[in-house]
Amino acid sequence: MTGTTIGVLSSADHAAIRALTDRFPTPLIKRDFAALGRLYTEDAVVMPPNHPAVFGRTAFESWMTSFPRVVRLTLTPVEIDGRVDIAYVRGTYAMTLHPEGAPTPVDDVGKYVEIRKRQPDGSWLIATDIFNSDKS
pLDDT of 34-73, one tens digit each? 999 999 999 999 999 999 999 999 999 999 999 999 999 9
**What is the per-residue pLDDT for 6?**
61
CA distances from 44 to 53, 72, 114 (A): 10, 24, 10
The whole-angstrom separation of Cα 125 and Cα 37 is 10
Per-block average pLDDT, block size 10, for the chain (136 residues)?
65 95 97 98 96 97 95 97 96 96 94 97 96 93
**What is the per-residue pLDDT for 5?**
52
Question: What is the domain partition of the chain in residue ranges?
Answer: 11-133
The whole-angstrom separation of Cα 17 and Cα 49 is 24
11-133 — its CATH code? 3.10.450.50
Strands of the 124-133 sheet, one edge to the other? 54-55, 40-47, 124-133, 106-118, 86-98, 69-82
